[in-house]
Chain A
Amino acid sequence: KAGVTQTPRYLIKTRGQQVTLSCSPISGHRSVSWYQQTPGQGLQFLFEYFSETQRNKGNFPGRFSGRQFSNSRSEMNVSTLELGDSALYLCASSVGDSPLHFGNGTRLTVT
């Protein structure tokens, strides 16, 4: 069974631009969560989607948004990028009460 797939693996953007990251969950997993990982703040929860609806949201500004499609694939968008948005963005999928399974992440660098 294929794992969680995130694309692209690396991105370089300029301050003020926007970016879209993509995540394909494990087949059969309907819940997709996003996390931001930085050296300073560690791993922080962004949001979770289930059946195309945002089910939970972390403490991030409105510049961070996401969506989920009917096939459970998810995208997250960051608008008006800031230097501090440079991070590894991790997507995870799960089914029911099972543990989260993470992808390899997208490394975003904002210059």
Chain B
Amino acid sequence: GEDVEQSLFLSVREGDSSVINCTYTDSSSTYLYWYKQEPGAGLQLLTYIFSNMDMKQDQRLTVLLNKKDKHLSLRIADTQTGDSAIYFCAEKRRQAGTALIFGKGTTLSVSS
């Protein structure tokens, strides 16, 4: 399909790991991104991965890319209540130029 797909909701307990999944559409996408949005705020860039990479780790964040299945995941280790937010996956498609195509977002709820 044409859409970037994400599950809508994820609930975890504080201290657990969270895994947010995303399926993108274009095998020729150059970059894939994860953004975080807190209530009343804009989008905060969390991390991104170039399409020729399989994995990227940045402190508590691990991004895994499966190009064959066009699947991207974001793992947050030791999830904290401050991680509660909406997480957006986005792809940069070659034919879309500079525009990013976003998923609908996954709401992460962290309980203590």
Binding site for B on A (CB under 8 A): 4, 6, 31, 33, 42-43, 45, 48, 55-56, 58, 90, 92, 94, 97, 99-105
Contacts and interface: CB of A to CB of B under 8 A. Distances in A.
Contacts of B42: 4, 6, 90, 102-105
A77 B35 CA distance: 26
Q: Is the interface of B mostly helix, strand, loop or mixed?
A: strand
A43 B98 contact: no
B24 interface: no
Contacts of A99: 31, 33, 45, 48
B97 interface: yes
Given A43-B88, A43-B102, 11 more contacts: A6-B42, A33-B98, A42-B104, A43-B43, A45-B96, A48-B97, A92-B43, A99-B33, A100-B33, A104-B41, A105-B41
